[in-house]
């Protein structure tokens, strides 16, 4: 991999574009998350696919798809920032989190499992916490069954974070937002019962919220055990896809609705995270949005207001 672009300097996060040859590009992110010092928390977000075949309505990674990254190609995204900051591969960070969530649905690539199995052979990182965020696509049973084994063997006692992107308790809305075959909520719950052990982090159910999505506390309490699942509500980020598909990205309009819904869910017995990132992260593009389509493909699409508008610096 050769890094060909990076976003201009920021004290919050940096997005990198890697050239993997044969006209294949992927993005990865380094986040230092002030005011915490890097010794306390450091987050990397890496790609697992070149684009994505899913096409979620709020995600710009689904504009194209050209295959899976190998385990070495995934590791190359980790190596790049690690070897700059920790050339001896001794990552002395209290909480070193890697999210396999930049471009691509990780459950469609078994190489992600190879990375999880081999990680501790390549780095000395006692604070390492891997994070898998998934829609649970149909046909991914092998991935999830092996994931249970890997987590139990290597990442027990709260050292692993599993997140399911739900977005709505309405079957119709879920199918519109995530337009592929996937596990239903009951199957996700059943898997969670197998996956979760005492001492593990609770499994996160993610909801992006535009003010209209159905998040029914009755459905959630009927299907999911609050002792094993935690809910996370996030506003829709101002990506090209979200705006094109008519999703409300106005944070001020939805913030109060998010907080009200969180109060209802807490009363139903769930732990709830209302995750509202800094607006600067939208402009950097570190939390959502893709630079590849707008820069490398010379796209003429006008970026939405407050979206990822940081300039890219070419790496020579």
More confident of the two residues 92 and 8: 92
More confident of the two residues 101 and 308: 101
Judged against a pLDDT cut of 80, whether residue 280 lies above it is answered with no
Q: How far apart are CA 221 and CA 286, in angstroms?
A: 33
CATH architecture of 2-314: Alpha-Beta Barrel (3.20)
The token pair that represents 295 in the structure block:
């820069």
Residue with tokens 């508008």: 309
Confidence of residue 247 (pLDDT cuts 50, 70, 90): confident
Q: How far apart are CA 165 and CA 215, in angstroms?
A: 13
pTM, 2 dp: 0.93
Cis peptide before 98 (omega within 30 of 0): no
Beta strands in 60-100 (DSSP E): 65-68, 95-100
More confident of the two residues 188 and 12: 188
Cα→Cα distances 66→23, 62, 103, 156, 299, Å: 9, 11, 11, 34, 18
Confidence of residue 122 (pLDDT cuts 50, 70, 90): very high
If you average pLDDT over residues 94-104, what whole number do you get? 95
Triad 5, 282, 41: Cα angle to 5°? 80
pLDDT at residue number 210: 86
pLDDT at residue number 310: 74
pLDDT at residue number 8: 75
Q: How far apart are CA 20 and CA 46, in angstroms?
A: 14
Q: How far apart are CA 121 and CA 140, in angstroms?
A: 26
């Amino acid at each position: 991999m050769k890094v060909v672009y990076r976003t201009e300097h920021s004290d919050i996060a940096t997005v990198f574009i890697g050239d993997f040859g044969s006209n294949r590009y992927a993005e990865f992110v380094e986040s230092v998350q002030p005011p915490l010092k890097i010794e306390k928390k450091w987050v990397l977000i890496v790609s697992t696919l070149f684009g994505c075949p899913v096409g979620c309505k709020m995600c710009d990674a689904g504009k194209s798809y050209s295959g899976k990254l190998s385990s070495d190609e995934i590791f190359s995204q980790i190596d790049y920032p690690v070897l700059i900051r920790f050339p001896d591969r001794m990552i002395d960070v209290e909480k070193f989190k890697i999210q396999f969530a930049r471009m691509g649905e990780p459950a469609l690539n078994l190489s992600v499992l190879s990375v999880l199995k081999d990680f501790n052979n390549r780095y000395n990182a006692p604070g390492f916490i891997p994070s898998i965020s998934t829609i649970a696509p149909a046909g991914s049973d092998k991935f999830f069954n092996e994931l249970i084994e890997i987590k139990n063997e290597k990442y027990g006692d709260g050292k692993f974070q599993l997140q399911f992107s739900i977005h709505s308790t309405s079957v119709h809305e879920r199918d519109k937002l995530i337009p592929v075959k996937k596990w239903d909520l009951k199957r996700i719950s059943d898997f969670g019962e197998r996956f979760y052990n005492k001492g593990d982090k609770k499994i996160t159910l993610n909801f992006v919220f535009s003010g209209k999505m159905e998040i029914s506390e009755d459905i959630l309490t009927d299907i999911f055990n609050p002792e094993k699942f935690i809910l996370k509500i996030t506003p829709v980020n101002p990506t090209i896809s979200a705006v094109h598909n008519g999703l409300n990205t106005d944070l001020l309009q939805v913030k109060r609705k998010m907080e009200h819904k969180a109060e209802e869910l807490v009363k139903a017995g769930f732990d709830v995270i209302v995750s509202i990132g800094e607006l600067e992260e939208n402009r950097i593009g570190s939390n959502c949005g893709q630079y590849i389509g707008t820069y490398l493909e010379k796209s003429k699409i006008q970026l939405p207001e407050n979206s990822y508008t940081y300039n890219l610096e070419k790496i020579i």
